[in-house]
Amino acid sequence: MSSIRLTSLVKTSGCAAKLPPSDLHAVIDSLPVLSSPDLVEGFETADDALVWRVGENRVCVQTVDFFPPMVDDPYTFGQIAAANALSDVYAMGGEPSVCLNLMCFPACLTLDVMRRILLGGLDKAKEAGAVIAGGHTISDPTPKYGLCVTSFMNEDEVWSNRTALPGDAVVLTKALGVGIVNTAAKVDEAPEESVRQAQDSMTRLNRKARDIARKYRIHGATDVTGFSLSGHGSEVAAASGLTLKINTADLPVIDGALELARFGFLPEGRYANEEFLRDKVSFAENIKLEMRDLCFDPQTSGGLLLFMSPGDARSYVKEMDMDCCRIIGTTYKQGKYLMEYV
């Protein structure tokens, strides 16, 4: 077995390795849009997956996601990468059905490392009730892994990021701070408990959060990954014509993450997110810098961000019975900013 630390082979890791959103939009926004009467959801509102009509009230929901490792253990990396990719289908309200592997693998690692990464992804897909039926591999100096995930569901059951309503409660189902903790862990500066909580969060499927949410009327949904709570929340706000008012005191946070932020253990993506969102997000004057860091922190395999009536939200959080699942704010008709932190 290779003794090389996976994280030593990468500059950025997990969803923090995403292109800066300003660069991404500069390219995507310049491209022509290909339309079809069967394309229900494309990339125009930055929703989590495409939705393609395949029959009367039946759609295919499809997404793809892969990234470099944020942990050194190959099996754990495979689990996290798979859970992250599967999350986009859960964020649409779907049930993952079939997947394809995406693997970039360097010659300096043994084949057993590849096997363990793929096994981690396989076991997580199995837990989701999905099948990995093939994939594609290339030789690359930087290891990367992820999945293309496909789901089939009724069109009228699809959740969207453009249908949240004024007065909705905003619910987040996982704690924040994963990017900060992973950054500190790369240089062995993160407390063991912080690392444990971050890895438990990243490997946990959003299946339970989706399953319970299906019992309620979900007005809008997304998941929180590399573009941070601020970025993905702003996407819902812009697509739905709303402002999200977030109570920072209610945000669930991984133990130790705020202290690590105070010491400067911040991923590069945190700054790219803030730069892109500078005119879209506001903070009350009393909010400390480390809390602002948290709100721009790139998350890997983060939680679902759900929008529903306040009554349903209270019942949902009670039924979830997890301290990390909380009501974090509310929505109102769009004002000056897309996100307001108080």
Q: Write down the domain spans for the chain.
A: 6-157, 169-341
The model's confidence at residue 35, banded by pLDDT at 50, 70 and 90, is: confident
| Structure-block tokens of residue 38 | 């069967």
Residue 78 predicted with pLDDT over 70: yes
Give one DSSP letter per residue of 87-156, joined into a string.
Answer: HHHHTTT--EEEEEEEEEE-TTS-HHHHHHHHHHHHHHHHHTT-EEEEEEEEE-SS-EEEEEEEEEEEGG
- Range in 14-18, 94-98, 177-181, 240-244 with the lowest mean pLDDT: 14-18
The pLDDT value recorded for residue 42 is 84
Q: Tokens 């029959």 label which residue?
A: 55
Domain spanning 169-341, CATH architecture: Alpha-Beta Complex (3.90)
Mean pLDDT of 127-155: 97
Residue 228 predicted with pLDDT over 80: yes
Q: Which residues are tagged catalytic?
A: 15
Residue 81 predicted with pLDDT over 70: yes
Residue 308 predicted with pLDDT over 80: yes
In angstroms, the CA 124 to CA 76 distance is 10
**Axis-axis angle for helices 74-90, 192-203 (nearest 10):** 50
Contact 305, 169 (CB under 8 A): no
The pLDDT value recorded for residue 218 is 98
Tens digits of per-residue pLDDT, 188-213? Answer: 999 999 999 999 999 999 999 999 99
Residue 115 predicted with pLDDT over 50: yes
Side-chain half-sphere CA neighbours of 330 within 13 A: 8
pTM: 0.95
Mean pLDDT of 168-174: 98
Tens digits of per-residue pLDDT, 92-111? Answer: 999 999 999 999 999 999 99
The pLDDT value recorded for residue 1 is 45
134-161 burial string, b = 16+ CB within 10 Å, else e? ebeeeeeeebbbbbbbbbbbeeeebbbb
Residue 2 predicted with pLDDT over 70: no
**Which residues, 6 or more positions from 3, have their beta carbon under 8 angstroms from its beta carbon?**
none
At the top level of CATH, the class of 6-157 is alpha beta
Q: Give 149's strand partners.
A: 63, 99
Residue 142 predicted with pLDDT over 80: yes
Residue 3 predicted with pLDDT over 80: no
The pLDDT value recorded for residue 16 is 73
Question: For residue 15, how many other CB atoms are within 10 A of its CB?
Answer: 27
Sign, CA torsion 70/199/92/117 = positive
Mean pLDDT of 131-136: 97
